[in-house]
Amino acid sequence: MAVVDLVGSEQTARLALEVLANGGTYVSVGLFGGQLNVPWTMLNMRQLTVRGSLVGNPQELRELVDHFRAGRSRPIPIRGESIEKVNEGLAALRAGRVQGRLVHLHGPNRAFWKKG
């Protein structure tokens, strides 16, 4: 799940982070300013990603949303493997056999990702 914040104010950023599911991504494209004051522990424990972007305009955003709604885009494949298989994963990456993302997990984080 992701939240795209087109305003970028402190209030919209705070709301976005409150409603995001664990593992979600907050993307700020708004330029209204303000500050984002977030405890690192919240980002880490909830495995949140915070991104910023300065590209595009409202029309391009509408076109992008229409593109996704029409089913013309596929999600990036993500496969989770145990940390014990990191050497095999690096070898597969070097050989060009990894499509999308390969995430090596340790401990309780394993439950977050589906095995591919």
DSSP H helices in the chain: 10-19, 40-46, 58-69, 86-94
pLDDT at position 11 is: 86
pLDDT at position 90 is: 92
Tell me the residue type at 47: Q
pLDDT at position 116 is: 43
pLDDT at position 101 is: 81
Per-residue pLDDT of the chain (116 residues; tens, 9 = 90+): 788 887 888 888 888 888 888 999 998 887 666 778 888 888 899 999 998 887 677 788 788 889 889 988 877 788 888 888 999 999 999 999 999 888 887 765 555 555 44
Which tokens in the block code for residue 113? 């990702």
pLDDT at position 32 is: 66
pLDDT at position 115 is: 45
**Dist CA 78 CA 1 (whole Å):** 14
**Dist CA 74 CA 34 (whole Å):** 34
Find, among 16, 78, 84, the residue nearest to 52 by Cα. Answer: 16
